[in-house]
């Protein structure tokens, strides 16, 4: 396992400035849902600003009811903003011709149940005024791509949810869109399907397409997005590239393979010349989007951010619970994120640096792998596992170094 | 257009896949074929026509009307409720195109259903006609299965109003009256003048002149049909009134036609064939009636007391034009349903549209209020009317509503077809202009604007 050195005094990376054409521009966007008497009912989106540039994979991240889907629907002209300004390809979202450049997959596959998958694609192809030959060709290819070639004559209403997502994804791509808006694209898909969707998003990005991905699944966003905004209570709580968001700005991390104790001592000695001993920490990398997201939501809740959406952690109504004790909510991330904070203050997700060098840990890390006692040595990875890890590393490296 | 046709195609698919088309087509055919088998006619051409044409076309119009309204409300409202519209509206198709595509889909479906059921009626009519007695078959072919134009004598409306005003003026010069009395007196004078142009006292005769106009050139050697209706001052003991009819005037070689004594029942229509070439060179046809002295006074209503019918064309084309007007009605109902669904949920839209349809069908009450000039009680004996403060608003509103309703309701293709009257291309064109372009167009503009302005993503999917 690689060891990492972190220093709070390290300079932060310069923020990469996205270049290229602005595809989506959002300024002061606010959406207030009103009741029958026109009284404000819920503030779903509150004064949101962001831009999405050409070729970006842009993530909208947030718990249920945080305003992601409302933002997507505002971008598509399906809802009208209460305040603020929206532009997609320089036009109002309700500009009909602009929609020829957009592909949209809603959070549920709102397709016509009585059409089969081929008819579905034919129908949407007609809405894009595609010539018959192109329509047929693209339908074939898309059905092949989403793995529904064999089921092209079955009515969509007979499909499983995963199959419906696949045909929904296919219809979103029938026009070879410049901007693809995907609302929870992996919802209902099996792990292979999820992987395929993510690969597809990356492939689209490589082709210079812009992708807006709305999800509450952190792994979806983490795997494919260049930049993300994190919503809570209709407001943007954080925005930036994954690197910006995940890095601890005033520290650096040096990741190396395990070092021998003398080597490590020498390195520490050099570092201690510039940095106080209690500000240097040796650990294994643990920071990830999940922990960052946890922190953002935790902070937002502490600031009593107003939310119009679902509040996780609410107890089930007493009459429904009966006498049964409420079970633990499980380990679903978002449930954990939005659950009421426990009485004892947990360590922040992005753990603060240890006050001093952990000598025991240092000794353990410096030991050869075979001699290490804590933790117990793990079996050596198989060739397959190694290949997987390498692939993952490559992907992450590629993701982090991708030009914006 | 590709997008509009795609929406129309989608409506067809839904109608077929949900078996709506098959169910409606089955019901229509069952009614058209089953009704004449279940309800026996009286063996006359009139009875036969009533069952095989009037009832069946009535059933077709009702069934299609309800299903059209239901389908129109459902196709749009359900798309919005089940959120499919969210996927469609994010494609490069304007909302008005979505609306128009659905309307075209429904109207074209109706056209097919009407063609199927109308074709069945036509087939049944021709097939069952051969079972009638020969004499009745002849009546049927001459009086029903034709397209006949009609001519009526002048209704003297302007003349009556003018004479009424003159007489009232004279009366007021002699005896001044207050405002309420003036209205009553005017009404009485008007009725007197009108009666003088309608009644035929015992022992007297009355003459009507009908102008055949340009039709005279095509009516040489063609028989004409005199259609009459009269009321009697007292109900005759025998149930019928005797009278003599004469058609035509002695002029040159032309000899008038005399009916001889004809005994006819009051308060119903009678039709008899008159020989050809009885009109003069200007196309004027003179019809006279002599009331025998033993009879009570009889009254021929100005609106429909006397009418001359003549053959203008065949039944087939006339029938198609009649179905064309029914299709115009369906187009209006489709527009009504879609307009309601543009801003209401499915059950509410369906209820709203059916309610509106019921209101239109019951517009007689409004017409009464307008003719009486008040929604308060009317004293028919005294001819006096009450008054309500609401009249100031309600009566003009009723007038406006009736004017709009009359744009669609003034056409009566089923009645025309049942009485062998001609439905001209002009009439069909007028129906298209008034019902489809004006009324449906107005509803379409309303529906399209509402749908365009509506937020389509407020609904949560219910599928």
For the stretch A186-225, pLDDT in tens is 887 777 778 888 888 888 888 889 999 998 888 888 888 9
What is the distance of C-alpha A28 from the center of its chain? 23
Selecting from B2, B90, B463 the residue whose C-beta is nearest the C-beta of A76 gives B90
Q: What is the pLDDT of residues B268-313, one digit of tens each?
A: 888 888 888 888 888 888 899 998 888 889 999 988 899 999 888 8
Q: What is the pLDDT of residues B364-391, one digit of tens each?
A: 888 888 877 777 776 666 656 667 777 8
Q: What is the pLDDT of residues B324-362, one digit of tens each?
A: 999 999 999 999 999 999 999 999 999 999 998 888 887
Residue A105: CB atoms within 10 Å: 27
Specify whether the CB–CB gap between B84 and A110 falls below 8 A: yes
Selecting from A80, A123, A155 the residue whose C-beta is nearest the C-beta of B455 gives A80
**Signed CA dihedral, A145, A146, A147, A148: sign only:** negative
B6/A127 Cβ within 8 A: yes
Q: What is the DSSP letter of B220?
A: T
- For residue B151, the cross-strand partners are B308
Q: Return the percentage of chain B with pLDDT > 90, whole number.
A: 39
A88: enclosing H helix or E strand:
strand A83-88
Identify from B13, B76, B78, B92 which residue to disrupt to test chain A contact, counting A C-beta atoms within 10 A and taking the largest count: B92
A128/B90 Cβ within 8 A: no
Q: In angstroms, what separates the C-alpha of A100 from chain B's closest C-alpha?
A: 5
B86/A79 Cβ within 8 A: no
B13/A126 Cβ within 8 A: no
Alpha carbons A16 and B5: distance in angstroms, whole number: 48
B190: enclosing H helix or E strand:
helix B179-196
Q: In angstroms, what separates the C-alpha of A126 from chain B's closest C-alpha?
A: 6
Residues of A engaging B, defined by a Cβ cutoff of 8 Å: 33, 73, 76-80, 96-100, 102, 104, 106, 108, 110-115, 119, 123-124, 126-129, 155, 168, 171, 175
Q: What is the pLDDT of residues B166-184, one digit of tens each?
A: 888 888 888 877 766 777 7
Specify the range with the lowest mean pLDDT, choosing from A106-110, A261-265, A300-304.
A300-304
pLDDT(A327) > 70: no
The CA distances from residue B203 to A160, B242, B293, in Å, are: 89, 11, 4
**Signed CA dihedral, A381, A384, A388, A394: sign only:** positive
The interface predicted TM-score of the complex, written ipTM, equals 0.78
Nearest CA in chain B to A74: B457
Q: What is the pLDDT of residues A22-49, one digit of tens each?
A: 999 999 999 998 887 888 888 889 999 9
Task: Specify the pLDDT at position B460.
Answer: 60
As a whole number, mean pLDDT of residues A268-288 equals 77
Task: Specify the pLDDT at position B12.
Answer: 94
């Amino acid at each position: 396992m690689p060891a990492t050195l972190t220093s709070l005094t390290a300079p932060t990376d310069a923020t990469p400035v996205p270049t290229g054409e602005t595809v989506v521009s959002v300024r002061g966007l606010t959406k207030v849902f009103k009741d029958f008497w026109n009284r404000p009912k819920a503030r779903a989106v509150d004064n949101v600003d962001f831009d999405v540039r050409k070729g970006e994979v842009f993530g909208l991240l947030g718990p249920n009811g945080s305003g992601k889907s409302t933002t997507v629907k505002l971008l598509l002209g399906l809802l009208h903003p209460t305040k603020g300004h929206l532009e997609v390809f320089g036009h109002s979202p309700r500009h009909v011709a602009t929609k020829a450049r957009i592909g949209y997959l809603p959070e549920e596959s709102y397709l016509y149940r009585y059409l089969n998958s081929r008819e579905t694609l034919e129908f949407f192809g007609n809405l894009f005024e595609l010539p018959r030959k192109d329509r047929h060709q693209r339908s074939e290819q898309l059905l092949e791509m989403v793995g529904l070639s064999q089921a092209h004559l079955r009515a969509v209403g007979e499909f499983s949810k995963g199959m419906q997502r696949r045909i929904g994804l296919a219809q979103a791509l029938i026009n070879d869109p410049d901007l693809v808006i995907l609302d929870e694209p992996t919802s209902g898909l099996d792990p292979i399907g999820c992987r395929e969707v993510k690969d597809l998003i990356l492939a689209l990005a490589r082709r210079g397409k812009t992708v807006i991905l709305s999800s509450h699944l952190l792994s979806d966003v983490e795997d494919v997005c260049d930049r993300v905004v994190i919503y809570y209570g209709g407001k943007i709580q954080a925005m930036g590239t994954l690197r910006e968001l995940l890095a601890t700005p005033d520290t650096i991390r040096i990741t190396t393979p395990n070092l021998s104790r003398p080597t490590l001592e020498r390195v520490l000695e050099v570092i201690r010349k510039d940095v106080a001993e209690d500000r240097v920490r040796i650990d294994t990398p643990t920071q990830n989007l999940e922990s960052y997201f946890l922190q953002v939501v935790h902070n937002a809740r502490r600031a009593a951010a107003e939310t119009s959406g679902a509040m996780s952690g609410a107890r089930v109504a007493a009459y429904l619970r009966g006498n049964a004790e409420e079970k633990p909510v499980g380990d679903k991330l978002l449930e954990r994120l939005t659950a009421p904070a426990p009485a004892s203050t947990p360590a922040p997700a992005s753990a603060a640096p240890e006050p001093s060098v952990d000598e025991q840990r240092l000794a353990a890390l410096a030991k050869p792998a075979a001699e290490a006692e804590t933790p117990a040595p793990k079996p050596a990875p198989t060739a397959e596992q190694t290949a997987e890890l390498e692939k993952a590393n490559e992907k992450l490296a590629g993701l982090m170094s991708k030009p914006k | 257009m590709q997008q509009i046709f795609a929406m129309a195609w989608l409506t067809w698919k839904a109608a077929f896949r949900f078996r709506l088309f098959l169910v409606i087509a089955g019901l229509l055919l069952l009614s058209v074929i089953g009704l004449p088998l279940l309800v026996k006619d009286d063996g006359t051409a009139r009875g036969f026509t009533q069952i095989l044409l009037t009832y069946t076309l009535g059933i077709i119009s009702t069934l299609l009307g309800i299903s059209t309204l239901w389908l129109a409300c459902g196709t749009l409202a359900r798309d919005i409720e089940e959120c499919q519209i969210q996927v469609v509206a994010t494609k490069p198709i304007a909302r008005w195109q979505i609306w128009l595509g659905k309307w075209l889909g429904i109207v074209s479906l109706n056209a097919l259903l009407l063609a199927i059921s109308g074709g069945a009626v036509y087939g049944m009519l021709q097939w069952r006609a051969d079972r009638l007695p020969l004499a009745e078959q002849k009546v049927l072919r001459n009086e029903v299965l034709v397209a006949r134009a009609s001519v009526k004598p002048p209704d003297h409306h302007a003349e009556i109003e003018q004479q009424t005003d003159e007489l009232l003026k004279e009366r007021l010069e002699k005896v001044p009256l207050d405002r309420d009395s003036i209205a009553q007196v005017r009404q009485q004078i008007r009725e007197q003048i009108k009666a003088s142009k309608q009644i035929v006292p015992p022992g007297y005769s009355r003459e009507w002149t009908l102008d055949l106009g340009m039709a005279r050139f095509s009516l040489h050697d063609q028989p004409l049909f005199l259609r009459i209706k009269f009321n009697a001052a007292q109900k005759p003991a025998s149930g019928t009134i005797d009278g003599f009819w004469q058609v035509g005037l002695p002029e040159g070689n032309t000899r008038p036609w005399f009916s001889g004594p004809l005994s006819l029942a009051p308060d119903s229509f009678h039709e008899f064939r008159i020989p050809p070439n009885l009109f003069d060179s200007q196309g004027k046809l003179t019809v006279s009636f002599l009331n025998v002295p033993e009879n009570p006074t009889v009254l021929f209503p100005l609106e429909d007391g006397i009418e001359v019918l003549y053959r203008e064309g065949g039944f087939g084309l006339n029938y198609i034009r009649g179905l064309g007007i029914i299709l115009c009605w369906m187009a209006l109902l489709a527009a009504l349903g879609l307009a309601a669904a543009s801003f209401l949920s499915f059950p509410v839209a369906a209820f709203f549209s059916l309610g509106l349809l019921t209101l239109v069908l019951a517009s007689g009450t409004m017409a009464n209020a307008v003719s009486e000039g008040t929604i308060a009680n009317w004293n028919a004996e005294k001819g006096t009317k009450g008054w309500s403060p609401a009249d100031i608003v309600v009566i003009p509103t009723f007038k406006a509503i009736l004017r709009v309703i009359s744009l669609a309701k003034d056409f009566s293709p089923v009645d025309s077809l049942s009485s062998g009257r001609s439905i001209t291309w002009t009439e069909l064109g007028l129906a298209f202009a008034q019902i489809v372009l004006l009324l449906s167009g107005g509803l379409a503009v309303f529906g399209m604007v509402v749908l365009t302005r509506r937020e389509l993503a407020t609904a949560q999917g219910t599928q």
